[in-house]
Structure 1
Amino acid sequence: MITEAYRLLGTPRAGGILIVADHASNRVPEGVDLGIAAELLNRHIAIDIGVAGVAERMAADSANGDIAAWLANVSRLVCDFNRDLDAPGLLPEVSDGHEIPGNVLCAEGRTARLAQYFHAYHDDLEAHLVAAEPALILSLHSFTPALATCDKPRPWHVGVLYNEDDRAARIAIPLLEAEGLVVGDQLPYSGKVLNATMNRHAEAHGRPYLGIEIRQDQIADADGQALWAERMARICHQVAAALQGA
């Protein structure tokens, strides 16, 4: 299923795994002019690099079809789905020092943009979750190997984020460490600060979820995406099984 706001790969199943990737696309729809250089759409301010490839592979390689993927179909510069409605970055007017003049909207324009993308994305996602409650939601993001303002590289291969519900995180962290990875617990940033989609669809309803941030150089090419797709599918099944047996 493909809509203006999202792509759905596979069919969400009760007791299965649903990947949610809020920043999986750098698409700017026809009729939206952000007023920025095209090259910016290939940077992290526009898309979580590598995430779509991992999610697509996980859904396609699922042996029994129990993994589905809910992927944003517009750039986070068009509408950042992982923000609260009152957050200034929801329709960002500035991102990482770059002005986004096409997001300086009148009240009517803002309402229309949010209806077409934000509300469509979240309303439909919630409807699918209600219809087929998954055993685990995998919130999938990626982060830059270093900050633009600092030359020091980020050492973590992967970060695990959560707000109040850390059930899946506590199971997943040692599993990821057993893969020989440097794992950040609430690093490189905290889910207590940035967790809007999972707060809305998981924590508010008691649904188990695993918030994952993969360093972009780990999934920048097809080989890395395949490696991480296999790894995350395996670990998500282990986490879901452990949660169900708890």
Structure 2
Amino acid sequence: MSAADHLPGTDTGLLLLCDHASARVPDDIAIPPHLLALHVGVDIGAGPLTRALSVRLDAPAILGTVSRLVIDLHRQSDHPGLIPELSDGHAIAANAGADRADRIARFHAPYHRAIRDQVRRDRPKLIVAIHSFTPRLETGGEPRPWDAGILYGRDDRAARIAIDHLRAQGIPTGDQQPYSGRVLNATLDRHADGQGVPSLSVEVRNDLIADVEGVTVWCGILADMIAAVRNGLALEGAAAQ
């Protein structure tokens, strides 16, 4: 099983990422199959949405190819939740006492190496990560009122433009919601902020992209948003010269 799925694109000024695109599990790791259709197993709709955006924008994309119940690609390698033993109330027995170094070597390290190599080769002007979130956690908590959220780390240049654009379209959009990118932004911290590349992470409510029709609608919404972000960054860059 390859750790990363590469989609081609001629517009190398943009790079799309999807850490939680897959529900696949290798044969030697026993994850209960019923969990793989839930949000704990995969970011529902995020993979198809990333693929649709890659085609529409003719932009390269890198997608993870393993369920986050095997290893969470959107965590630092030393994060305690890297190989979850409990996820949204579900116990993952196969992960108790798992060989951490083996899973990092098989899945986590090659995935992040693929992103690193792509960023070094193409030097994109913008990196956009695609995720999805549940309307409400299975373990309870308040309903999440947003259709989308924009997350970011230290560099908020792209995020500010994206939030303003989506809200101007009447889309309920969270700023650092449903969680803060300053707390969890591992992939972009490493490959975008760490390299001085503007970036943002988009979270779409998963029931809105759970079918082909929803993916099509949100592909259009996000393609327009990405265009607005790129135009805004270009104008800011020109003004700074």
Query: Does the TM-score normalized on the shorter chain lie above 0.5?
Result: yes
Q: Does 1:199 align with 2:189?
A: yes
Give the AA of the match of 2:20: H
Q: Does 1:29 align with 2:26?
A: yes
Give the AA of the match of 1:184: G
Give the AA of the match of 1:60: V
Aligned 1:7-22 pairs, distance under 5 A: 7-11=5-9, 13-15=11-13, 17-22=14-19
Q: Per the alignment, in what secondary structure is the counterpart of residue 19 of structure 1?
A: strand
CA–CA distance in 1 between the matches of 2:145 and 2:200? 21
Give the CA deviation at 1:230: 1.4
Contact residue 136 and residue 208 of structure 1 kept, 8 A: yes
Give the AA of the match of 2:27: E
Give the CA deviation at 1:33: 2.1
Identify the residue that residue 158 of structure 1 maps to in structure 2: 148
Q: Does 1:54 align with 2:49?
A: yes
Give the AA of the match of 1:163: G
CA–CA distance in 2 between the matches of 1:43 and 1:186? 23
Higher mean C-alpha deviation, range 152-161 or range 123-132: 152-161
Give the AA of the match of 1:76: R
Question: What do the CA deviations read for 1:152-173 (whole angstroms, capped 9, x no partner)?
Answer: 4211010111121100011111
Contact residue 12 and residue 132 of structure 1 kept, 8 A: no
Identify the residue that residue 73 of structure 1 maps to in structure 2: 65
Contact residue 57 and residue 229 of structure 1 kept, 8 A: yes
Give the CA deviation at 1:115: 0.6
Q: Per the alignment, in what secondary structure is the counterpart of residue 7 of structure 1?
A: strand
Q: Per the alignment, in what secondary structure is the counterpart of residue 207 of structure 1?
A: coil
Give the CA deviation at 1:30: 2.4
CA–CA distance in 2 between the matches of 1:151 and 1:192? 21
Q: Does 1:171 align with 2:161?
A: yes
Where has structure 1 moved over 4 Å in runs of 4 or more? Answer: none
| TM-score for the superposition, normalised by structure 1 | 0.91
When the two structures are aligned, how many residues end up with a matched partner?
236
Q: Per the alignment, in what secondary structure is the counterpart of residue 232 of structure 1?
A: helix
Gaps of 5+ in 2: 237-241
Give the CA deviation at 1:138: 0.7
| TM-score for the superposition, normalised by structure 2 | 0.93
Question: What do the CA deviations read for 1:78-101 (whole angstroms, capped 9, x no partner)?
Answer: 110110111111111121222212
Give the AA of the match of 2:129: S
Identify the residue that residue 211 of structure 1 maps to in structure 2: 201
Question: What do the CA deviations read for 1:186-239 (whole angstroms, capped 9, x no partner)?
Answer: 111111111111111111111110111111111111111011111111211221
Q: Per the alignment, in what secondary structure is the counterpart of residue 163 of structure 1?
A: coil
Question: What do the CA deviations read for 1:6-54 (whole angstroms, capped 9, x no partner)?
Answer: 1111147442x211111011100222223x3x11111111100010111
Give the AA of the match of 1:10: P
CA–CA distance in 2 between the matches of 1:94 and 1:153? 21
Gaps of 5+ in 1: none
Aligned 1:132-151 pairs, distance under 5 A: 132-150=122-140
Structure 2 residue corresponding to 1:103, chosen from 95, 116, 134: 95
Give the CA deviation at 1:58: 1.0
Contact residue 74 and residue 185 of structure 2 kept, 8 A: yes
Contact residue 7 and residue 54 of structure 2 kept, 8 A: yes
Contact residue 5 and residue 118 of structure 1 kept, 8 A: yes
Q: Does 1:84 align with 2:76?
A: yes
